[in-house]
Amino acid sequence: MAYKIIEGCVNCWACLPLCPSEAIREALPHFTIDARACTECEGDFADPQCASICPIEGVILDGLGVPVNPPGSLTGIPPDRWAEIRTQIQAR
Amino acid sequence: MELKVISDAAGTPGGGCASSGCGAGGEKLAHLPEAIRAKINNHPCFSEDAHHHYARMHVAVAPACNIQCHYCNRKYDCSNESRPGVVSEVLTPDQAVKKVIAVAAAIPQMTVLGIAGPGDPLANPQRTLETFRQLSEKAPDIKLCVSTNGLALPGLVDEICKHNIEHVTITINCVDPDVGAKIYPWIFWNNRRVTGRKAAEILIEQQQKGLEMLVARGVLVKVNSVLIPGVNAEHLKEVSRVVKAKGAFLHNVMPLIAEPEHGTFYGLMGQRGPTNDELTALQDACAGDMAMMRHCRQCRADAVGMLGEDRGEEFTLDKIAEQDVDYAAAMARRAEVHAAIEASRAAQRNASSETFVSIASLTRRRPARPEPRPVLMAVATTGGGVINQHFGHAREFLVYEASANDVRFVGHRKVDLYCSGDDTCGDGESVLAKTIRLLDGCEVVLCSRIGYEPWGQLESAGIAPNGEHAMEPIEDAIAAVYREMGEAGLLERSGGTAQRMSA
Ligand code: SF4
Ligand code: SF4
């Protein structure tokens, strides 16, 4: 099993130096993970490193193809509360 | 006898800068040791006077970041130090060193090299430190600086201090985790993503520890804060107090820039940035506490653009690759240019102080009249401390306050460029209107030249365009205009302030 970077990655480099398996490649249009090299960080870290620093929601999938950082997870605000939060912020 | 004279001179407070408009000069730095004042004197980021004459450049060698700020979108460069919406080409340390040396040889005014991104330099320690190591060795006349969010700082202080590092900028937006939780959604810490209040707590702790460690090692520390209305506006006074107590020598408050098209959380959510008045009020409040830097351009202050012409084309990677710079020879040339700049700065300072005397005497001649009101004036300049830019080409205006006593620099206002110099000025009209709104509060705008159309529109907005002082030193010209306004009876109106605000 391996993690995967998909479209939406902004090529920010944050993940690349952290990978214990040197599985991440600088590439265009976006960075990629070499599925043969990725170990899902097993034995090295409790959390997959790439997905723990990636700043973009939805662009890293786990071994089952599920986004590790789904919408709302990185801002800390679930999408159904955006309207409410937006009103609060605009009142500042 | 002689000894006494020398010790008197050395002990004169603010002796390094007689100009009152000098944001980080004069008496505000009087409490600092002479060695530190000397460091600041030539630093374009710290000395308001120096930044007319010298420039810094940044190289983008540090792409990664280890925290998320709500005002940042990682598609673009870090907005702590550079304009949002501009993407730097990421260089390897070797490429960066080559580029710096090529620019330094061609543009002697470039005296400071900073690494500020596009991510966090200390989240990319190998790349940042390798660049510094090579430059300390190959170009010892270039000062190095680094900007960081502070998270990785304590662990790297000793490494940083091994190089020719002159100062470190830490962006500190809060000292209270509850405030921080509204600014930072997460950090990457000890190989995990940490969110919420806990994340802010760790970040604040690391920032403060890093600040203390740098000060203990004698490194200059500047603190940047982003003013976010409704989030940390009042709180920044506390930040200012805390960082000063720990030994930061400058606190620079920058306005939040949040537009939906930047794609930042704040931009998308409609978080507003501060008004010019809010920013100035906060800077004033913090200035009582410590030296404030108001001339920060919140941009790259790029040496390649310093001379008012874009020379970036000369320094593309292919062109640099072909160059073989003899840096020893370049260093000798650079030293000559720096000496000439210092001589002209000294001459300008002397000329300026004479002007101030004459303003004061103007008011003394009319003792029956009330104190003339202060006036804000905007200046278009590409550097050199003189008025030398076409109104339509100005990317920013320097705002000064002229009063009976002095001419004081109060800040920068950045504009969208309405004339790109070709004939495709598509939305020129609306950008001019924006520029005029941006100049709100100013009564005069000084520039080298100005077009017919903006002239008329400025006048109807109550701002007097003035192209009569092209190529004159800024402070002298402002003093002269202020004097003319006084002679024309324009400074006596009661309620002048109210009129200024609505202008
Ligand atoms: S999950 Fe771990 S091993 Fe796989 S690519 Fe990401 S960082 Fe590398
Ligand atoms: S951290 Fe995320 S956005 Fe950045 S390069 Fe890696 S996958 Fe792309």
Looking at the fold, whether B145 and B52 belong to one and the same domain comes out as yes
The verdict on residue B421 lying in a domain is yes
The per-residue pLDDT for range B464-493, each reduced to its tens digit, is: 999 899 888 888 899 999 988 888 888 875
> From ligand 1's centre to the CA of B185, what distance in Å?
23
pLDDT at residue number B404: 81
B276 or B228, greater pLDDT: B228
The verdict on residue B323 lying in a domain is no
Mean pLDDT of B418-426: 41
pLDDT over 70 percentage in chain B: 72
> Considering its fold, how many domains does chain B have in total?
2
CATH label of the domain that carries residue B273: 3.20.20.70
* pLDDT of residue B364 exceeding 50: no
Is residue B370 packed enough to be buried (19+ CB in 10 Å), middle (13-18) or exposed (0-12)?
exposed
Determine the structural domain holding residue A83 and report its residue range.
1-92
pLDDT at residue number A24: 97
Looking at the fold, whether B27 and B173 belong to one and the same domain comes out as yes
Mean pLDDT of B220-248: 92
CATH label of the domain that carries residue A49: 3.30.70.20
Whole-number Å distance between alpha carbons of B458 and B361: 31
> From ligand 2's centre to the CA of A50, what distance in Å?
7
Looking at the fold, whether B262 and B148 belong to one and the same domain comes out as yes
Question: What is the number of the ligand 1 atom nearest to the C-alpha of A49?
Answer: 7
Looking at the fold, whether B17 and B74 belong to one and the same domain comes out as yes
pLDDT at residue number B3: 32
Mean pLDDT of B106-121: 84
Looking at the fold, whether B38 and B144 belong to one and the same domain comes out as yes
Looking at the fold, whether B153 and B16 belong to one and the same domain comes out as yes
Confidence of residue B362 (pLDDT cuts 50, 70, 90): very low
Nearest to B108 by CA among B57, B38, B61: B57
CATH label of the domain that carries residue B381: 3.30.420.130
pLDDT at residue number B24: 39
Looking at the fold, whether B241 and B381 belong to one and the same domain comes out as no
Residues of chain A with pLDDT under 70: none
* pLDDT of residue B359 exceeding 50: no
Looking at the fold, whether B189 and B131 belong to one and the same domain comes out as yes
Confidence of residue B290 (pLDDT cuts 50, 70, 90): very low
Nearest to B37 by CA among B26, B49, B51: B26
Looking at the fold, whether B159 and B239 belong to one and the same domain comes out as yes
The verdict on residue B294 lying in a domain is yes
Mean pLDDT of chain B: 77
pLDDT at residue number B25: 39
pLDDT at residue number B34: 66
pLDDT over 90 percentage in chain B: 29
The verdict on residue B350 lying in a domain is no
pLDDT at residue number B425: 42
Mean pLDDT of B413-419: 60
Looking at the fold, whether B289 and B364 belong to one and the same domain comes out as no
Looking at the fold, whether B254 and B378 belong to one and the same domain comes out as no
> From ligand 1's centre to the CA of B148, what distance in Å?
26
Looking at the fold, whether B288 and B379 belong to one and the same domain comes out as no
pLDDT at residue number B412: 78
* pLDDT of residue B39 exceeding 70: no
Check pocket membership of A56 for ligand 2, CB cut-off 6 A.
Answer: yes
ipTM: 0.95
Whole-number Å distance between alpha carbons of B355 and B446: 18
SS (H, E, C) A12-64: CCCCHHHCCCCCEECCCCCCEECCCCCCCCCCCCCCCHHHHHCCCCCCEECCC
Task: Sort out which chain A residues have CB atoms less than 8 A from B74's CB and list them.
Answer: 10, 12, 14, 55-56
Determine the structural domain holding residue B439 and report its residue range.
360-502
Bridge-based pairing of strands A4-5 and A60-61 is antiparallel
Sign of CA dihedral B75, B77, B79, B82: negative
pLDDT at residue number B451: 86
Q: Cβ contact (<8 Å) for A90 and B188?
A: no
Instruction: Please check whether residue B229 touches A, CB under 8 A.
Output: yes
* pLDDT of residue B274 exceeding 60: yes
Mean pLDDT of B66-92: 69
> Considering its fold, how many domains does chain A have in total?
1
What value does the CA radius of gyration of chain A take, rounded to a whole number of Å? 15
Quick one: how many helices (H) and strands (E) in chain B? 16, 14
Task: Sort out which chain A residues have CB atoms less than 8 A from B195's CB and list them.
Answer: 76
The C-alpha of A4 sits at a distance from chain B's nearest C-alpha, in angstroms, of 18
Q: Are B431 and B416 in contact (CB under 8 A)?
A: yes
